[in-house]
Amino acid sequence: MKMKVYALSLVIPLLLLGAVLGEKLPSKQTHSKVDEKLKLLNKVSLKTIQTEYGDVIDCVEIYKQTAFDHPSLKNHTLQMKPSFYPATKSKNWSSLRGMSQSWWKSGSCPMGTIPIRRILRQELLNGTSPENYGRKNPYIVNPNRTTVTQETNKTHTFNFLDKNGTSNFLNGTSNNLYVNRSTAMLITEGYSYIGAKGEINVWNPYIEKTNEYSTAQIWLVSGSREGMESVEAGWMVNPTLYGDTKTRFFIYWTADGSQTTGCFDLTCTGFVQTNHEVALGSPIEPVSSEFGPQYEIAIFIFMDVNTSNWWLLLNHKEVGYWPGELFVLLRGSAKVVQFGGEVYSETIGKEGVKHTSTAMGSGGDARDMYTGAAYIHHVRIIDYSLTEKYPEWVMEYMDEPYCYSAYNYVQYIKEPEFYFGGHGSHWNPYCQ
């Protein structure tokens, strides 16, 4: 009942505003779908925190979170901790500088609750549709964009590196690229993976248009290209989703190449959060600067082999998990692990359209390296031996090497360093 009054009181000012601006107004059906979605997502909170930068954080009781509304999770038993941890090498990699989430300045959520970034009505109305809100556009293969080797100097490069840094350029198979996406990544495949980790430095890349976004992340993937199942986490700038250009900690999942399932953060049912300090989709700070200090987040995703739940750790603390019930193939293992960045723009791969100048990573080329480019350090995978290791084979992958690059630096050092990024078409005649 309260919901309805709230809805009405907002609809009228919106209608007026729309009329004044002469915009196309959302239909009645859209509004009722928005109401439905808001009701599903915004649960009763024990405590509400208003942040300085505009977000509202609701502290919701852990057992009342949206995840449990997912039809596959009707019989799900909440897991508060992983039943085991993969063996990590005893080396102390803790070079991490303190990351913080901006909302911590404004308050905290009590134990037994989880902080949820409140979804605003206007954010839902700004998206393409309430059904697709919070979901990436589907991974659709573009018949007009094929992969080509570096030698032929077109769109795409494969570069396999072994542990010694020996390079093997492979000739492009007839793979087609995705619509509207450009990635620069380190890829490993050929095994069954049950985990991956790495430390990603945090930047705030330029975004040209509000319907574009830029990520730095780790993906664990299984399945066919267009029906892929994935769990993903990292940082992102995404004005459509978040209403600003701050760098935020995000997660994502899909069980069908983003056709109909999955979403960012907690914008749909699925991910089960257990942590009362980390808010998904909230800004992180500080960000790194060129020639200045570098700030990192440590991402660790692994499957609890006893429950098939995919656990997510941020800076060595459990955030929560993607329940095995959400997936078919990922209930067993991932077949591909990817580390790097993705830029989404409608201008990518279009003939006769200027390529976006949205940046990936720092906006610097991968070969600008430390303090110049985005990096992922201490790249590790976990296989069924349940111990972490550097992948046996990795591949530098670039959809558009002249726009966004990937470089795995291995010479003269013990620990490979993976760099990626670029500034798209900004001051760059080669990126078209």
Which of 58, 123, 229, 399 binds ligand NAG (CB under 6 A)? It is: 123
Does residue 342 have an active-site annotation? yes
End-to-end C-alpha distance for the chain, whole angstroms: 53
Chain-centroid distance of CA 297 in Å reads: 13
Closest separation in Å from C-beta 242 to ligand NAG: 7
Copy the structure tokens of residue 112.
């037994």
Minimum CB distance to ligand NAG smaller for 27 or for 173: 173
Token output for 35:
């109401």
84 sits near ligand NAG (criterion: CB under 6 A) = yes
Distant-in-sequence, close-in-space partners of 201: CB < 8 Å, separation ≥ 6: 288, 294, 295, 296, 374, 375
Nearer to ligand NAG, 370 or 384 (CB): 384
Q: Which stretch binds ligand NAG (CB under 6 A): 163-171, 217-225, 261-269, 292-300?
A: 163-171
Contact (CB, 8 A) for 302 and 311: yes
Query: Does position 256 bind ligand NAG by CB under 6 A?
Result: no
The answer to the question of residue 120 lying near ligand NAG (CB under 6 A) is: yes
CA distance 194 to 288: 30
Active site residue 232: yes
Q: Does 6 sit near ligand NAG (CB under 6 A)?
A: no
Q: What are the start-end ranges of the H helices in 22-120?
A: 28-41
Is residue 92 near ligand NAG by the rule CB under 6 A? yes
**Minimum separation from the CB atom of position 112 to ligand NAG (A):** 23
Q: Please, are residues 182 and 399 in contact by the beta-carbon 8 Å criterion?
A: yes
Q: In the set 129, 306, 385, 387, which binds ligand NAG (CB under 6 A)?
A: 306
Q: Which of 123, 199, 232, 400 is catalytic?
A: 232
Min dist CB 149 to ligand NAG, Å, is 7
118 with 56: CB under 8 angstroms? yes
Q: How far apart are CA 232 and CA 299, in angstroms?
A: 10
Question: Does the footprint of ligand NAG cover residue 153 (CB under 6 A)?
Answer: yes
Binding mask 22-61 for ligand NAG (x = CB under 6 A): ----------------------------------------
Residue 15 near ligand NAG by CB under 6 A: no
* Helix 2-21 with 28-41: angle, nearest 10 deg: 130
How many chain residues bind ligand NAG (CB under 6 A)? 32
What 3 state SS string does 394-420 have? EEEEECCCCCCEEEEECCCCCCCEEEE
Among 164, 173, 174, 411, binds ligand NAG (CB under 6 A): 164
Q: Interface residues for ligand NAG in 209-248 (CB under 6 A)? A: 210, 243
Q: Spell out the alpha helix ranges (H) of 227-369.
A: 239-242
Asked if 301 interacts with ligand NAG (CB under 6 A), we say no
Task: Report the site for ligand NAG in 346-365 (rule: CB under 6 A).
Answer: 346
d(CA 225, CA 218): 17
Closest CA to 313 of 51, 117, 86, 64: 86
User: How far is it, in rounded angstroms, from Cα 242 to Cα 202?
Assistant: 17
- Dist CA 408 CA 412 (whole Å): 13
Q: Per-residue DSSP letters for 123-176?
A: HHHHSS-TTTTT-PPP--EEEEEE---TTTTSS-EEEEE-TT--EEEPPP-SPE
Binder among 30, 126, 259, 261 for ligand NAG (CB under 6 A): 126
Least Cβ distance, residue 290 to ligand NAG (angstroms): 26
SS3 340: strand
- Identified catalytic residue from 325, 342, 388, 396: 342
Contact, 27 vs 124, CB < 8 A? no
How many other C-beta atoms are found inside a 10 Å radius of the C-beta of residue 207?
Answer: 21
Query: Is residue 411 involved in binding ligand NAG (CB under 6 A)?
Result: no
428 sits near ligand NAG (criterion: CB under 6 A): no
- 298/296 Cα distance (integer angstroms): 6
Q: Is 18 in the site for ligand NAG (CB under 6 A)?
A: no
User: Contacts with ligand NAG in 172-191 (CB under 6 A)?
Assistant: 179-180
Residue 140 or 336 with smaller CB distance to ligand NAG: 140
Hey, which residues between 128 and 147 contact ligand NAG (CB under 6 A)? Answer: 137-138, 140, 142-144
Question: Catalytic residue positions?
Answer: 232, 342
Q: Which residues bind to ligand NAG, rule: CB under 6 A?
A: 72, 74-75, 83-84, 92, 94, 120, 122-123, 126, 137-138, 140, 142-144, 153, 162-164, 166, 170-171, 179-180, 210, 243, 305-306, 346, 430
